[in-house]
Amino acid sequence: MKADVLIIGGGPAGLSAGIFTCRAGLNTILLEGTALGGKANLSYEVTNYPGRSSISGYDLMQEIISHATTLGLKIEYESATRLKRTKSGFSIKTKNNTYTANKVIIACGCKERKLSLENEEKFVGRGISFCASCDGMFYRGKTVAVVGGGNTAIDDVKYLSRLAQKVYIINRRDKFRAGEHQLEKIKKLKNVVIIPNAVVTKLHGDERLEGVTINENGSLKELQVDGLFEAVGSVPDLEFIDIELEKDDLGYIKVNERMETSENNLFACGDIISKNFRQIVTACADGAIAGNECIEK
């Protein structure tokens, strides 16, 4: 299948890029291997998207998806397995198909960062989770902990506080990366215990997670928890790209103000690029710029 523009990733950045390219009449195909909307779907409450004082991430993404598809964005539910340069443009392979495109926008987002602890993989799905809105129901009336200090961690705590008997939030610093407005909300929740300056050092349990050891200001302490929700950020996952791209020290793709990578006609936007601030609204802005540049070039 051939496209003028092929977008890899169906989160806020990819969908926004598709809105702009489709409005300009470019034949655009978007590849998404999991769920349209990406991680934004998992946000319990979005309170900083212009024009929306409060909306769930899922509902917001449904509106953006509807907007993009109404304009003619073609969506294929496949994951890109290889992206390479050809004489006339790019070739993008999936498990079952091969696509060609004149221009490509990488908007695939990232995968969850883990704590790198012994038995961590063993307990994934057995007490360890990366999605509060997905798995929170399994911990109704129980004790859970959230690790992290950003907006995702705060969202997880708010969601879990409605279900769990007690929620610990463990942050390795004294200050949280989340906005003060968001932090003040969880400080008012009676079943939430905030533990700053602490890191999880050990996981306990046989078949399931039963507790964790934390190092709090140099002192070791055990917490009995039924679930541990990891919200410590993400890492780029770009193994499918068979092109040498300029990246930062953490592996994120470097782009200029036009979302251009170091490869001609290859753009990147959203969480996968090197930047300091990752939000739904900034991903949408990145995608809009990338999409517009595909029109202009």
Q: Which residues form the catalytic set?
A: 131, 134-135
Q: What is the DSSP letter of 253?
A: B
How far is residue 49's CA from residue 159's CA, in Å, rounded to a whole number?
Answer: 19
How far is residue 210's CA from residue 138's CA, in Å, rounded to a whole number?
Answer: 14
Q: What is the DSSP letter of 247?
A: B
Task: Report the relative pairing of strands 128-129 and 266-268 from DSSP bridges.
Answer: unpaired
What residue has token string 């770009």? 238
> Within 10 A of 253 (CB to CB), how many other CB atoms are there?
23
How far is residue 86's CA from residue 57's CA, in Å, rounded to a whole number?
Answer: 37
What residue has token string 């073609």? 74
- Here the tokens at position 291 are 């999409």
Amino acid at 163: L
Start-end of H helices in the chain = 12-23, 57-70, 120-123, 132-135, 151-161, 180-187, 280-296
